[in-house]
Structure 1
């Protein structure tokens, strides 16, 4: 999980890059923070999708097999 301080720093660097530009060190920091943000986002999205159960109007489980397999695999590990 990304801390509020890291999110604040991402926003600061983004604003600075659009106005006056970043130093080499700041650009490296921005790349690192963005990478961490994307990893956190993807992990959260993956967890959300794995916990979704799709039902048709008649109440039948129509969750895609790929999601069911991912859920089963995750819980077996």
Structure 2
């Protein structure tokens, strides 16, 4: 998983290339770099989101846990649940 600093640098470079594209256009190499960076950004986002979902617990209004079984199984497989 990417660190916060790596995510910020990645986002900054993507934004820099996007601004350049709007102002003067990108070279072929820059366009390829931007595409690779966007793919990396999306992969980081998906990994982070998946991790958040896997760590969640859901409770109803009465306080009963209603976490989906699929999530519970993932949590058990990762050693995050004892039940």
Common fold by TM > 0.5 = yes
Question: Where does structure 1 lack aligned partners over 5 or more consecutive residues?
Answer: none
Say whether 1:43 aligns with 2:69: no
User: Counterpart in 2 of 1:6?
Assistant: 10
Output the TM-score relative to the length of structure 1. 0.85
Q: Deviations over 1:16-72 (max 9, x none)?
A: 122222111001100111111111111000000011100001111101112112222
Q: TM-score normalized by structure 2? A: 0.79
- Distance in 1 (CA, whole Å) between partners of 2:37 and 2:19 is 14
Stretch deviating more after TM superposition (10-19 or 42-51): 10-19
Structure 1 residue 18 corresponds to structure 2 residue 22: yes
CA separation in 1, counterparts of 2:79 and 2:26? 44
- What is the root-mean-square deviation of aligned Cα atoms in Å? 1.7
CA distance in 1, matches of 2:79, 2:35: 33
Matching residue of 2:56 = 52
